Structure 1
Amino acid sequence: MIQEIFSEILDASQQLSLEDQETLIQILKNRLLEQKRAELVKDVREAEQEFAEGKCQAFTPEQIMEEILS
């Protein structure tokens, strides 16, 4: 089902002028960036909440490297 929709979108985009295709690409890129930003903000807020609740602790870079290398 999704593959069919994707194929239809690709076919429909071929009907657009080159300028409109470029505009569509830019719109899609901007939307992806916004989604990635929103996901990052969500992840940071969750991490801050976990830290505030004492579910995790702070480490120095040296401690992190020591853990990675052990």
Structure 2
Amino acid sequence: MLSQQISGFQEALNAIESLSIDDQLALLDVLHNRLKLRQRHQIVQEVQEVRQEFMAGKFKSGSVDDFLAELDR
């Protein structure tokens, strides 16, 4: 399975390298914008989850020291 992923990745790289420099730059811009959009969606989803937990009372409040002590447990 991993070798299929690697070969697929290599095929994608080969296809990209066959493009003109202008097309490669355009592709880079498209990928960059899509990644930013995916990150935004992920942040929105995480915020929604945290809000739901907050509304359900599934959170603790405290100081930074409390947080660090909780991490040590």
The TM-score, its normalising length taken from structure 2, stands at 0.81
Residue in 2 aligned with 1:57?
Answer: 60
Q: 1:6 and 1:25 mapped to 2: Cα distance?
A: 16
Residue in 2 aligned with 1:2?
Answer: 5
List, as ranges, runs of 4+ consecutive aligned residues in structure 1 with deviation greater than 4 Å. none
* Preserved contact between residue 51 and residue 57 of structure 1 (Cα < 8 Å): no
Deviation at 1:58, TM superposition (A): 3.8
Deviations 1:23-63 (A, max 9, x none): 0011111111111110000000000000000011344xxx1
Q: 2:38 and 2:15 mapped to 1: Cα distance?
A: 24
User: Aligned match of 1:48 in 36, 48, 51?
Assistant: 51
Question: 2:24 matched to 1:25?
Answer: no
The TM-score, its normalising length taken from structure 1, stands at 0.84
Percentage of identical aligned residues: 33
Structure 2 unaligned regions, length at least 5: none
Amino acid aligned to 2:56:
E
RMSD: 1.5
Q: 1:23 and 1:53 mapped to 2: Cα distance?
A: 45
